[in-house]
């Protein structure tokens, strides 16, 4: 089986699995090399009738191991997903977050240069880079000044700045994103929306019609985009995006967390009350994050297609095996 060759770092995670599913559903042949520090929890064999897949367990902080994989596989495209992606974790472990996220990117680019490879790379950034902004600055656009307010966001900006330097100086073929809050089936329950769903399902499955969950600040507003729309954008950017350019991946709509909880409660037919637990409130959290996807829409024709309610309904079904 031959075709375009995709190397995916952070392969075992939520987005890596959805990108693999997206490749599987296309009518082309692909070779995929998944790289991660841990084995995937999902079964790769279900994709092997259409995709040529291999998995390599590699610590991306080990440049020699990474260079060996890159040299042997010689990818056409690299989707660089690997990172500590939790803002909450970055507050608890700022040094680990910064060192991990910047060093694995440096190792990847250095290994590529040493191996003499010229593949295209998608460097994943975050809407957290924008920081706290005024309502007049919304929706957030790629040319805005960045004011990060978390260790995670600072690490992402560092990765982004390194990318721009490597494009300009070493002529590496790197395309960049600022990806907003993406959610969908198979997401880890440590993240806020699947955490809400799990706790509400626990109330429903207990036989209760109503219940209470503890939350952080539910008045903060986020731009949620379905991960299945996100991976379509990633494929387009890898294959057609402009090196050195940054693209927002977002829905363009802002939704308070309280509304997300209300929709989940409606889907599960459960009456839910909330109580703020101060331990769940992050220091200096961004109040409002709403992005503009005009750039990627105008250049590549991408726009989000899946509604928030459909996303949440699919997540509830996947997590609780509930029928419609």
Q: How many other CB atoms sit within 10 Å of the CB of residue 227?
A: 25
pLDDT band of 322, cuts 50, 70, 90 = very low
pLDDT band of 323, cuts 50, 70, 90 = very low
Q: What is the pLDDT of residues 262-304, one digit of tens each?
A: 999 999 999 999 999 888 887 667 788 999 999 999 999 999 9
pLDDT band of 149, cuts 50, 70, 90 = confident
Q: What is the pLDDT of residues 81-107, one digit of tens each?
A: 998 877 777 878 888 888 888 999 999
Mean pLDDT of all residues belonging to the chain = 93
Q: Give the C-alpha separation, 181 to 308, whole Å.
A: 12
pTM attached to this predicted model: 0.94
Tell me the residue ranges of DSSP E strands in the chain. Answer: 4-9, 30-36, 51-57, 77-80, 120-126, 173-179, 181-183, 210-215, 221-222, 224-226, 246-249, 255-256, 271-276
Q: What is the pLDDT of residues 8-66, one digit of tens each?
A: 999 999 999 999 999 999 989 999 999 999 999 999 999 999 999 999 999 999 999 99
pLDDT at residue 324 tops 60 = no
Look at residue 31 and give its three-state secondary structure: strand
Domains and CATH numbers, the chain: 4-183+225-251+291-305 (3.40.50.720), 192-220+254-289+310-320 (3.90.25.10)
Q: Give the C-alpha separation, 78 to 8, whole Å.
A: 6
Terminal-residue alpha carbon distance, the chain: 39
Q: How many other CB atoms sit within 10 Å of the CB of residue 219?
A: 11
Q: What is the pLDDT of residues 120-132, one digit of tens each?
A: 999 999 999 999 8
């Amino acid at each position: 089986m031959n075709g375009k060759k995709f190397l995916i770092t952070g392969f075992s995670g939520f987005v890596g699995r959805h990108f693999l599913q997206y490749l599987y559903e296309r009518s082309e042949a692909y070779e995929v090399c998944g790289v991660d520090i841990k084995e995937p929890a999902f079964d790769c064999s279900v994709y092997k009738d259409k995709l040529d897949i291999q998995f390599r367990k590699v610590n991306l902080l080990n440049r020699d191991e990474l260079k060996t994989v890159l040299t042997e596989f010689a990818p056409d495209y690299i989707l660089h997903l690997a990172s500590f992606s939790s803002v909450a974790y970055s507050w608890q472990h700022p040094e680990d977050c910064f060192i991990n996220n910047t060093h694995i990117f440096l190792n990847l680019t250095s290994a590529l240069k040493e191996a003499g490879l010229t593949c295209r790379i998608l460097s994943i950034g975050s809407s957290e880079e924008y920081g706290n902004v005024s309502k007049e600055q919304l929706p957030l656009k790629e040319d805005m000044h960045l004011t990060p307010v978390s260790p995670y966001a600072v690490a992402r900006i560092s990765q982004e700045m390194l990318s721009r330097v490597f494009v300009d100086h070493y002529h590496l073929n790197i395309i960049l994103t600022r990806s907003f809050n993406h959610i969908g089936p198979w997401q880890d329950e440590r993240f806020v929306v699947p955490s809400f769903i799990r706790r509400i399902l626990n109330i429903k499955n207990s036989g209760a019609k109503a219940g209470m969950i503890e939350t952080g600040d539910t008045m903060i507003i986020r731009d949620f985009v379905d991960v299945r729309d996100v991976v379509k954008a990633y494929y387009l950017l890898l294959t057609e995006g402009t090196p050195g350019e940054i693209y927002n991946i977002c829905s363009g709509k802002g939704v308070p967390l309280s509304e997300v909880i209300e929709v989940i409660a409606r889907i599960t037919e459960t009456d839910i009350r909330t109580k703020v637990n101060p331990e769940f409130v992050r220091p200096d959290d961004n109040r409002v994050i709403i992005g503009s996807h005009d750039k990627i829409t105008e250049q590549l024709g991408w726009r989000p297609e899946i509604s928030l309610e459909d996303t949440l309904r699919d997540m509830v079904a996947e997590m609780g095996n509930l029928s419609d």
